[in-house]
Every structure is written in C-alpha cells, then in structure tokens.
A = this chain, B = another copy of it.
Amino acid sequence: MVEPLKVGLAGLGTVGTAVVRLIDKQRDALAARCGRPIEIVAVTARSKKKDRGIDLKKKRWLTDPFALATDPDIDVFVELMGGDGEPAKSAVEAALATGKSVVTANKALLAKHGMTLAGLAEKSGASLNFEAAVAGAIPIVKTLREGLRGNSFHRIYGILNGTCNYILTRMEQDRLSFEECLADAQRLGYAEADPTFDIDGHDAAQKLSILASLAFGLKIDARAVYVEGIRTISLADLDAASELGYRIKLLGVAVKTESGIEQRVHPTMVRKDSAIAQVMGVTNAVTIDADGIAPITLVGPGAGGLATASAVVADIADIACGTRTPPFGRPISRMSVSRKAPMQRHEGGYYIRFMARDRPGTAATIATRLAEQHISLESIVQRHTGDRPPANGRKRTPEPVPVILITYATSEDAVRKALAAIKRDRVISGEPQLIRIEKN
C-alpha cells in the first residue's frame, strides 16, 4: 500500500472549496496518474461554522494557518488565503523552511516575496508551485517552466486581467462607455467594489512579473513593471483602432531589448487578425515568442472557482508524482535583477489621437513638430465634424476636429517631446491620447 500524499489546505473560499470537491471527484484518476492517492487531511479557514456544501468531517480543523503549515502530519501546504502579508506569508515561509512543499494561487505574495520563498524552497528542497497564480486554468507556468525548456525567448505577452478584457470587449461590442461596462462588470462579480487594482493594471503587472521571471530568469519584482490602466480608453479609440485594423487590449508585455528586459502593462493596439485580438470577455491568453519559431499562444479561462482549482490540483498532483523543478525554472544564483522599464527608450509604433483646432497652419505645425523628432507617419485620419452653421445664426467658432496618427517605429521619448511641443503651440485642445502598438 502506497502512502497517500497528505495535504493541508488553508483558505476555504470559492477556490478552496472547489479544490476539496475536485480532489474528491478525481480521487481514483489522480491516484492512477500519480501512483499514490492525494488526501486533504487538515484544513483551516476564517470561520468554521460557515456552510460551504462540502464534507469536512474527516478532515482535522486547525484554527491557525501557521500551525497547519508546520503540522508534522502534512506533506504539502496549500495556501489559498490570499494577500501579500500575514498570515499567508509566515505560513508559506514556515512550510518551505521545514521542507514541506507549497502550492499557492497567491500572485500578490509571489510578486512581493517570490524570491525569498524560492530561496527557502531551494534550501530545503521543497517544491513551490503556483500554476493558479497566473491565467487560471491555462497551464502557462508549467509551459514556461518545463514545456519549453529547450527554447530561449524573445518576448512574452498576454491578456492577464479578465476584468479589463471584459470591459474593453463590452465597450466595443455594445458601444457602451467605460463607466457603464465597469458597473456591469461589478454587477456580474467580474470586478471588485474597488476596481483600482484590476483596471489600473496592477493585477496584470503582478502576473506579468511572475511570467517574466519564468521566461527570462529575472528576479521577480512587480515594481519594475511600467503600468498604465484602461481608464482613459474611449469608444473613439476603439472605433479608430478598428478602422485601422487593430483592436485595443490591456497587455502585459515582457520583451528582450538592447537595454535589458522591458516589463510593461498598458493598453495596446494589436492587429485584429492576430490570435490575441480574438480573445474576448473574461478569457485570458498568453503568447510566447521563442527564438526561431512561430509564436505559441495559450488561451483559456483566467478565473473562476473550478478553473483555478484545476490548476491547484494539477500542482498538487505534480508533487504527488515527484516532479521537481526550481520554483522559477532555474536556481536563484542563475537569475538576474529586474530593472525598471525605461519607457522613454521604448521603441515601437504609436497611435496618437487628439483634437486639433480647425484653423490655418495647424496641420503644418503638427507635421513640423513630428518631423523635428524624426517621427514618420504610417497613416493620418482626420475627420471634419461637418460645417453646419450654428443654430443661432452667429458666426461659427470652428470646433476642434479629431485627428488620429499612426507612427512608424520611433522612441517614446520622441513622441512625448513632439506632443509637448504641439501642446505648447496651442494647435490642439485637451490631452492627446497615446496608445502603444505591439507588433504581432
């Protein structure tokens, strides 16, 4: 009789209860696949009384996550409490320090303390698995850590936040404003009451820092990620993008450049016929540009109880099967420091939208300022809003007209300088909109 793998589970929210159910349902299949049964022997959560619709009678109940993490009778500590502070941090650290393997879905903890945790795991020989921390059920961590071990990478980018993708999708498909779509997302449970973390790009940045670490051997550091959210994206931008053959997505991008690995999260124009542009609603996707071969894209559910639980269970099964790998795919001694992306040196195409004052000389001024910065244009779209005389019969003050520019590859520095000069020249009204184009 083979000894079962004994699991202690901390956190019985949506994901935790789904993990209990899934391990129960897949008991036989998992035992056959791993050569030994997986058994949740002890659990902890904030409230013992809450009815979660799962049978916990045969499992020990501990009140202290730290005690569970160091319990001599468990082999694996599964951390589903969340948060980058206590009790998750100390509990995970204690488990790893005592040689117990850890499975976690906690991207915030990894983004902040990933290297400390990896160090503890390396020292004690424990596993630290976190498939569920990025892109839910999509096996992107395993793919980068093991599946593509033979490749080196040029770039990795993805739709890592379902809330933002849902909002952008609804705006485009139903012609609604950002605010209306956000309210809908909140009603449907896709966005928190305080949506800042999602819509300002911080959730995607944490996930990107994990992927960049796996792909490029960077010491994980979410603070090195340049972050912009989707609050400023308007229907006018989505329409202009569509007309020019693009779609706007909030992408996380980690890319090898001459000055190191650039990590950034921002609204991005992607070609409408690319795989990533087809990804709609709360779905996540990651594209991997490995050296010398065509891109590989993984698409799937990025959140949800069962989707996340399936990643957690796969991680536990890996431990039961004896699969071993350094947490970030290589020893810490082989990892390099993340450097803050120097966005002023970012090179690429840009989408620029502004309202130009409708008077003689405006076009010449704008063209001159762009030329001064050696910016070439791929396309210009300018639409007069029409020359209807004002209703009151008085002489019309010309309304500003929307102008959309698509530049060829240039530097962000050049674009910002040109726009600052154009603003000083007072030929545009309001703030220009700037969206980076990602070649794909």
Query: Which residues of chain A have a CB within 8 Å of any CB of chain B?
Result: 22, 25-26, 29-30, 32-34, 131, 137-139, 142-143, 146-152, 273, 275, 278-279, 283, 290, 292-301, 304, 306-307, 309-314, 316-318, 321-326, 329-331, 334
Contact = CB atoms under 8 A, between A and B. Distances in A.
Contact of A321 (B139, B278, B325): B325
Contacts of A311: 150
B149 A33 contact: yes
B310 A290 contact: yes
Contacts of A26: 150-152
A312 B278 contact: no
A102 B32 CA distance: 22
Contact of A299 (B25, B297, B314, B323): B297
B296 A150 contact: no
Which 3 pairs between the two chains have the least Cβ-Cβ distance?
A150-B313, A139-B147, A296-B300
A142 B146 contact: yes
A157 to B, nearest CB: 14
A147 B152 contact: no
B307 A293 contact: yes
A294 B300 CA distance: 7
A312 B142 contact: no
Contact of A296 (B138, B147, B324): B138
Contacts of A29: 152, 330
A293 B304 contact: yes
Copies per complex? 2
Nearest to A29: B152
Contacts of A316: 150
Nearest to A280: B273
A300 B322 CA distance: 29
A329 B290 CA distance: 27
Contacts of A293: 137, 300-301, 304, 306-307, 310
Contact of A275 (B25, B32, B275, B312): B275
Contact of A150 (B32, B312, B329): B312
Contacts of A324: 321-323
Contacts of A137: 148, 151, 290, 293-294, 296
Given A151-B310, A275-B299, 6 more contacts: A33-B326, A137-B296, A146-B321, A290-B310, A296-B300, A296-B301
Contacts of A152: 25-26, 29
A32 to B, nearest CB: 5
Nearest to A149: B317
A127 B29 CA distance: 20
Contacts of A148: 137, 139, 310, 314
A150 B311 CA distance: 7
Contact of A294 (B30, B283, B292): B283
A146 B29 CA distance: 12
Contacts of A30: 149-150
Given A290-B310, A299-B299, A143 B139 contact: yes
